[in-house]
Each structure stands twice: as C-alpha cells, then as structure tokens.
Amino acid sequence: MEFKTIDEIYTVNKKVGDRFRDFANSISDAEAHAEIEGEPWTLAALVEHVSMVEGGIAKMCARMIAGAKEQGTPSDGSFAISDAFKAKLAENEGAKFEAPERVRPTGGVAIAESLARLDTTTGELAALKGDLEAFDGSAFTFPHPYFGPLTAAEWVMLSGGHMARHHAQAAALLERVRA
C-alpha cells in the first residue's frame, strides 16, 4: 500500500492492530500454548514477539523523533518511502526471516500480558504522531536487520506490516491447532 501522509499510516496501523488484538483474544489458553509440528513458536510466543518488536519500534522512533525535534526542521505531515526501503521491501516480499535474539520470545508469556504490553506501546507510538507530522525526521535513521536504515516514519509503517504478516501467520497456525 502506498502512503502519502503520516496520518494514513496511523489509520491503517490502527485497523491492523485492532484486527490483531481481536484475533489474539479469540485464542484459548490451551490453543495459545499448543506445540505445533514443525513450528518453533507457539501462538502465545508469536503474540509475545509482536509485542516485543512494537516496543522496540516505539523506543527507536522516540529517539529519532527527539533528534528531529531538536533539529527543528518542519514537515507538512507528508510521507515518502525511500527508494532503498522500497527496493528492499520488493526484494524481501514473501521471505521468511529469523527474528534477531533481542526480539525472540520466551514462550512463557500469556497472550493477555503480551496484549497489555502491546496496548502500552500503541499508546507510546500514538503520542509520537504529532511530532512525526510536525518535524522532518528524514535525517535520522536506525538500521533494520533486513531492510537497512529506516526513518521513524518508515519504522511506523513497517510496524503495521509486521503485525499484519504475523496475524496471517498466526491465523494459519490456529487453523492447524484446531484441526
């Protein structure tokens, strides 16, 4: 999906997040912790991973936006994805990634706890929206292990895609658990 504004990213991410939360809340405790043949993570671990990644994104974005605020270059709230990120997205479409150690789940966290953590992070990201729209953060990046250096706005965009990707994965896994 092509985004033209920060607001569009946040609007889509909210819908993605709401669907993910509704789905995760539909998983029973037994289903959440069921071992799935050929899969390294349970459904609870997958939800934990999403909450861990979102937490990391919120922290990185806060640091980058703080730099942009200090620099003081205004923005009109528009969004343009970098050509390098666009190329990496196309190159990696459908690829399976291994989560870096810092965002590998323990598997011992209940879905409700992971969702509570995710709610906190969603609030933190929402609090950054105004500054993300007001200040040009294009000079501030943080590297993604597979997509390279990303701006705060690109990280926020990626967070919705990450959650949507894992929602689809979890839905397929839940079908296997319930079969």
Q: According to the model, what pLDDT value does residue 107 have?
A: 86
pLDDT tens digits, one per residue of 27-81? 999 999 999 999 999 999 999 999 999 999 999 999 999 999 999 999 999 999 9
Please calculate the CA angle 143-167-118 and round it to the nearest 5 degrees.
Answer: 65
- Report the C-alpha gap between 108 and 10 in whole angstroms: 30
Going by C-beta distance under 8 Å and a sequence separation of 6 or more, which residues neighbour residue 62? 124, 128
pLDDT tens digits, one per residue of 76-98? 999 999 999 999 999 998 888 99
Domains along the chain with CATH numbers: 6-23+41-90+100-178 (1.20.120.450)
Helices (H), the chain: 6-25, 29-32, 43-71, 83-91, 111-134, 152-178
The mean pLDDT value for 13-24 works out to: 98
The mean pLDDT value for 157-177 works out to: 97
148 φ, ψ (degrees, to nearest 5): 80, -165
Q: According to the model, what pLDDT value does residue 94 have?
A: 85
What residues are paired with 144 via a beta bridge?
148
Using the predicted structure, report yes or no on whether residue 1 has a pLDDT greater than 80: no
140 falls in which pLDDT band (50, 70, 90)? very high
**Amino acid identity, position 132:** L
